[in-house]
Amino acid sequence: MQKEYTVTVYTEDRIGITNRITVIFTRRGINITSLTTAETEVPGVYKFVITVLSTRDLLEKVVGQIERLIEIHRAFVHEEDEVVYQELALYKISTKALHQGDIEKIIRDNNARILTITPDYFVLEKTGHQQELIGMLQKLEPYGLIEYTKSGRVAIVKWSRRFHEHLKDLSLQEADNLKD
Amino acid sequence: MQQKDVLPMKSEDSDKRTAAAPEIITGAEAVIRSLIAEDVDTIFGYPGGAIMPIYDALYDFQDKVHHILVRHEQGATHAAQGYTRAGGKTGVVFATSGPGATNLVTGLADAYMDSTPMVCITGQVAAVLLGTDAFQETDVIGITTPITKWNIQVTRPEDIPGAIAKAFYVAKSGRPGPVLVDITKNAQVGKLDFQYKACDYIRSYKPVPVLDIEQVKKAAEVINSAKKPYILAGHGILISGAEKELVALSEKAQIPVASTLLGLSAMSTSHANYVGMLGMHGNYGPNINTLEADVIIAIGMRFDDRVTGEVASYARQAKIIHFEIDKAEINKIINADVAVHADAKEALTALLPLINKADHAEWLETFRAADRKEEEMVTKKELYPTEGQLKMAEVVRLISEQTDGRAILVTDVGQHQMIASRYYRFKDPNTNITSGGMGTMGFSLPAAMGAKVGAPDKTVVAVIGDGCFQMTLQELGTIYQTQIGVKIVILNNNFLGMVRQWQQLFFDKRYSSTEMINPDFVQIAKGFYVPGRKVTERSEIAAAVKEMLDTPGAYLLEVVVEQEDNVFPMVPAGAPLSAIRLA
């Protein structure tokens, strides 16, 4: 059965690494629905958080093939209940809307915050799960929404302590190498 | 040893591939010096604009590095593959940017599928021109990412030694594979402080897994309690050098051994426990007994679809023990009951003392009974026909007999490949070179050329179909120029035989574009100053094979064989192994 999975991949910082990872999804005909990457607490090690619609069985194989790449440390596949995750959305709305209806209630109910206000527009920010972000989007639509944009996922794996030990080992090892 | 003359070493205990004293040289010279430090003495390549500085540097090292000028870059890759698989040293290829680089693609894909180490070095346009559609610029890194074990673009001269060191380490270690190093022209002409340090560690790469002895114990337990254990020997045996351990395991517990196409020659064909080849055109017993065994011990193989047939019905009765160095292959196609993620030799060495002596005579006898049936229905009339046109199999039999199975057999792809793999009687390891996973037509002529360079003391016989030969025949030019003594046997049925066989069996004999109207192959060889002979009669063939083997240097023997012969047994594609046909 297809459902949403979060794939996390720990990589070296190399040109083209994204392509190396995504091409493996491409070969299996799996569409990536979001992809977020940034450096971890270990300098030079990057973490990719990739969301896909697929099956566990297929993704285990994909993850195996990703791990085989030379510049990949580890790759994992997680079901929704194995990760704590967040996504972020920005909403640009006409300033006129501030005087209509109950914008304040929407902001309060959603724990959104105002990032900037200009004479023409203001920008709201909300973090949450996709459904929550879309929920606020729908509420804002009647108020002259100018633009909406959403990030990919950032995720922390509930059982990830062991791998993080490994990451720490890496940074220690690097420090040792520098000493030589 | 050679690099001693080139690269002075400070301390006695430093690695032989590691030099200490830095020198200012060009990037191009650093390429050659790095290769020499990796003990490279042979390169297959083809020059062009973007790699000219490297070729210029090579000019000064001709006494140390022999460059073999091929006639097409694809030929260089297959030659490097043959060189590696026959001689054990990593093959090295040079090509220029753009079309030179794209011509490497087939060989890289082939080497990647068949786990063959190879280092390809391509020239690239200057870094400032990257991405501008400059003359002969192509994104070779993008193109080759899915078909190389690793690749890298180098744009600064100082990065060259490190990239080449890493390339050799990655290519050779773990499950081997091809790598590509793309070097921009500015990096070739720029200067660096040269110091070579061999690579033996990459923090994100663990080529050889730590053997889990508990898994080995579990495997031993399952094997010791098996009534019908069955070993499937793959290419991994040859790569890890576990041939002796394989034989020891088989002999200790009297376990029959079948081979995959690429595992051929890991065990002598004449060993009493060797039962034949697996796969679509493998032997009858090995295929049907896959459905009878209670324990399957798969070693260094990957359950290719040509081996499994229909996966859903594959060996459901058997417990599967899978010894495999590449974790991604474990549970990829067939789920393992016991997976041993390890190097084959290391794992088998640990396994052997845990295995009880056993006797499975009755079980082995079922293979022999199947053999007798195959002999009666297929083999006899293939190997010893008395009438009709010449058969591919009898030609292969004669080559096998007259070389005593000691020649390196290099086959191309199709009917002749299956026939040669079925009927050649291998004696020594690494004497079978073929394009397995990729099935690359045109592989064998250049691969045989490389094999002969890699193992000059061996007789190398390329068995080629008439279709395959015409894909890479220009390498006869390389064979002539470099005086490479390969024996070339063209089994000519004037058809793309395997496709024609499928058309006959599965497409209602609609022979769409499979008939070949062929040139005079002996005349072609003559044009390249390679002697040859064409044989059509059974009465001449034994003497002709002898003449080929006795003639010093290269020789081309064209044998006109039965046009519409089929290879049997055959498991139709995607069918269960039980659907194997003997006729």
State the sign of the Cα–Cα–Cα–Cα dihedral B138, B142, B143, B145.
positive
A154 Cβ contact list (under 8 Å, min separation 6): A36, A49, A85, A86, A87
Q: Where are the alpha helices (DSSP H) in B233-304?
A: 235-240, 243-252, 284-288
Residue A74 belongs to a domain:
yes
Phi, psi (degrees; rounded to nearest 5) at B427 = -110, -45
- Distance (Å) of CA B398 to CA B372, B406, B445, B546: 21, 13, 20, 9
Are A9 and A73 in the same domain? yes
State the sign of the Cα–Cα–Cα–Cα dihedral B373, B376, B377, B383.
positive
- Distance (Å) of CA B120 to CA A23, B91, B140, B229, B240: 21, 8, 11, 42, 23
- Which of B149, B153, B328 lies at the smallest CB-CB distance from A64? B328
Interface check for B141 against chain A (CB to CB < 8 A): the answer is yes
Are A71 and A47 in the same domain? yes
What phi-psi label fits residue B540: left (phi over 0), alpha (psi between -120 and 50 degrees) or beta? alpha
ipTM, 2 dp? 0.89
- Catalytic residue positions of B? 73, 135-136, 185, 498
Residues of B with CB below 8 A from A15's CB? 153
Structure tokens that stand for B81 in this block: 């593959």
CA B500, chain centre distance (Å): 25
Residue A65 belongs to a domain:
yes
**Residue at a domain's end among A53, A78, A103:** A78
pLDDT of residue A177: 53
pLDDT of residue B297: 98
Interface check for A22 against chain B (CB to CB < 8 A): the answer is no
B547 Cβ contact list (under 8 Å, min separation 6): B533, B555
pLDDT of residue A170: 75
Q: Which of A128, A145, A132, A140 is nearest to A102 (CA)?
A: A140
Contact: A61, B332; criterion CB under 8 Å: yes
Closest CA in chain B for residue A71? B204
Q: What is the CATH number of the domain that holds A28?
A: 3.30.70.260
- Which of A19, A27, A71 lies at the smallest CB-CB distance from B204? A71
Interface check for B326 against chain A (CB to CB < 8 A): the answer is yes
pLDDT of residue B3: 38
Are A96 and A125 in the same domain? yes
Residue A104 belongs to a domain:
yes
Residue A108 belongs to a domain:
yes
Parts of chain B with a pLDDT under 50 = 1-14
pLDDT of residue B10: 41
Q: How many domains does chain A have?
A: 2
Scanning B148-187 for CB atoms below 8 A from A yields 149-150, 153, 170
Q: Find the domain containing A57 and state its range.
A: 3-78
CA A62, chain centre distance (Å): 19
- C-beta separation of A133 from A150 below 8 A: yes
**Residue at a domain's end among A78, A94, A125:** A78
Are A65 and A102 in the same domain? no
DSSP 8-state class, residue B313: G
Structure tokens that stand for A124 in this block: 């709201």
Closest CA in chain A for residue B145? A20
State the smallest CA–CA distance between residue B149 and chain A in angstroms: 7
- C-beta separation of B428 from B88 below 8 A: no
Phi, psi (degrees; rounded to nearest 5) at B80 = -65, -35
Are A27 and A49 in the same domain? yes
Phi, psi (degrees; rounded to nearest 5) at B469 = -55, -35
Token look-up 């078909």 returns B147
- C-beta separation of A49 from A6 below 8 A: yes
Q: Tell me the angle at which helices B392-403 and B415-423 cross, rounded to the nearest 10 degrees.
A: 40
Give yes or no for residue A172 having a pLDDT over 70. Answer: no
Contact: B328, A67; criterion CB under 8 Å: yes
Phi, psi (degrees; rounded to nearest 5) at A7 = -105, 130
SS3 B225: coil
Other C-beta atoms closer than 10 Å to the C-beta of A142 total 10
- B24 DSSP β-pair partners: B193
Closest CA in chain B for residue A24? B146
Residues B387-433 pLDDT 10s: 999 999 999 999 999 999 999 999 999 999 999 999 999 999 999 99
Query: What mean pLDDT comes out for the span A9-20?
Result: 95
State the sign of the Cα–Cα–Cα–Cα dihedral B70, B75, B80, B83.
negative
Q: What is the CATH number of the domain that holds A123?
A: 3.30.70.1150
What confidence category does residue A160 fall into, taking pLDDT thresholds of 50, 70 and 90? confident
- Which of A60, A65, A73 lies at the smallest CB-CB distance from B204? A73
Residues B170-181 pLDDT 10s: 999 999 999 999
Residues of B with CB below 8 A from A16's CB? 141-142, 145
Give yes or no for residue A163 having a pLDDT over 80. Answer: no
SS3 B217: helix
Residue A170 belongs to a domain:
no
B566 Cβ contact list (under 8 Å, min separation 6): B415, B501, B504, B505
Are A132 and A103 in the same domain? yes
Residue A32 belongs to a domain:
yes
Are A88 and A130 in the same domain? yes
pLDDT of residue B387: 94
Residues A53-88 pLDDT 10s: 999 999 999 999 999 999 999 999 999 999 999 999
Are A66 and A121 in the same domain? no
Contact: A70, B205; criterion CB under 8 Å: yes
**Residue at a domain's end among A19, A52, A78:** A78
- Neighbour-count burial of B486, counting CB atoms closer than 10 A to its CB (0-12 exposed, 13-18 middle, 19+ buried): buried
Are A11 and A59 in the same domain? yes
Are A92 and A62 in the same domain? no
Interface check for A174 against chain B (CB to CB < 8 A): the answer is yes
Other C-beta atoms closer than 10 Å to the C-beta of B581 total 14
Instruction: Round to whole Å and give the CA distance between B576 and B497.
Output: 24
pLDDT of residue A175: 56
Closest CA in chain A for residue B169? A70
pLDDT of residue B261: 98
Query: What SS3 string covers chain A?
Result: CCEEEEEEEEEECCCCHHHHHHHHHHHCCCCEEEEEEEECCCCCEEEEEEEEEECHHHHHHHHHHHHCCCCEEEEEEECHHHEEEEEEEEEEEEHHHHHCCCHHHHHHHCCCEEEEECCCEEEEEEEECHHHHHHHHHHHHHHCEEEEEECCCEEEECCCHHHHHHHHHHHHHHHHHHHC
Structure tokens that stand for B404 in this block: 């005593």
Residue A161 belongs to a domain:
no
Residue A143 belongs to a domain:
yes
Scanning A68-87 for CB atoms below 8 A from B yields 68-73
Instruction: Round to whole Å and give the CA distance between B153 and B122.
Output: 9
Are A7 and A29 in the same domain? yes
Interface check for A16 against chain B (CB to CB < 8 A): the answer is yes
Are A45 and A60 in the same domain? yes
- Distance (Å) of CA B511 to CA B155, B308, B495, B570: 51, 28, 10, 19
Q: Which domains does chain B have, with CATH numbers?
A: 3-194 (3.40.50.970), 213-367 (3.40.50.1220), 389-561 (3.40.50.970)
